[in-house]
Amino acid sequence: MAIRPTTLRQLYIAELPRLYAFVYDMCGAREDAYRFLSHVSTKANDHAAEILEAPVPADAILGFVARSLEKELGRRAEQTFQILDNVLRSDITRPIDIHAPGIDGDPSRIHVLLWELKRTCLTAVMGCLPPSVRLSFLLTDILGYGPADAADLLEIKESAYRVRLTRARKRIEDYLTPRCFHVDQQNPCNCEGRLGIALDAKFVTAPPHDLDTPKAAHDADPPRRDMASLYRGMPRVALSEAKSAELVALITA
Question: For 150-205, how does the pLDDT look when each residue is reduced to its tens digit (9 = 90+)?
Answer: 999 999 999 999 999 999 999 999 999 999 999 999 999 999 999 999 999 999 99
Q: Do the beta carbons of residue 163 and residue 138 sit within 8 Å?
A: no
| Of 14, 25, 20, 17, nearest in space to 138 by CA | 25
What percentage of the chain has pLDDT greater than the value 90?
90
Query: Comparing 67-71, 85-89, 129-133, 245-249, which segment has the lowest mean pLDDT?
Result: 85-89
| Of 174, 168, 181, nearest in space to 224 by CA | 181
pTM above 0.75, yes or no: yes
Q: Per CATH, the architecture of 8-248 is what?
A: Up-down Bundle (1.20)
Residue 3: pLDDT band with limits 50, 70, 90: confident
Residue 2 pLDDT > 70, yes or no? no
| Of 143, 139, 179, nearest in space to 156 by CA | 139
Q: Which class for 246: exposed (0-12), middle (13-18), buried (19 or more C-beta within 10 A)?
A: middle
| Of 123, 138, 223, nearest in space to 180 by CA | 223
Residue 57: pLDDT band with limits 50, 70, 90: very high
Domains of the chain by residue range: 8-248
